[in-house]
Amino acid sequence: MRVDLTTNDAAKPLGVSKVNFKQKFSPYSDNKNLYWMPTDVEITANGSFAGIVKFEAEVFTIVSDYKLNKKAPAGIFDDYIVKVMPDAKKDSSYWKDKQLVKILPKKKTHTE
């Protein structure tokens, strides 16, 4: 199975014209269930800075030997990933102003 995705404007950083993700998935089992896991990942991007310096980038990754549903060693997932401070005041009004893609009026009536 293979997936080929290209980002839209909301997901592109400034100066990047195109970002493309290609992933190949292969079957792996944990002796109970069958899972399709990414085994070959390719990321390409191109763009320019201020229209002067053009660039192209490619990243290739191969992943193999998955160990599914095995307990992770102590210390791997023990650290905080995100910590919200007690005095944080980031309610829905904060996120309304920070949206990358604004909600269209038609969709807004369905989400409220």
pLDDT tens, position by position, 35-59: 999 999 999 999 998 878 999 999 9
- pLDDT for position 112: 52
Residue type at position 73: P
List the pLDDT tens digit at each of the 112 positions of the chain.
Answer: 899 999 888 877 788 889 999 999 999 988 889 999 999 999 999 999 887 899 999 999 999 888 888 888 888 777 666 777 888 776 777 767 777 666 666 655 555 5
DSSP bridge pairs for 33: none
The model scores a pTM over 0.75: no
Tokens standing for residue 109? 């009536």
Can you give the residue ranges of every domain in the chain? Answer: 2-64+73-111
DSSP secondary structure of the chain: -EEEEE--GGGPPTTEEEEEEEEEEEEEE-SS-EEEEEEEEEEEEEEEETTTEEEEEEEEEE-----TTPPPPTTSS-S-S----TT----HHHHHHH-SSPPPHHHHHHH-
- pLDDT for position 8: 86
- pLDDT for position 107: 55
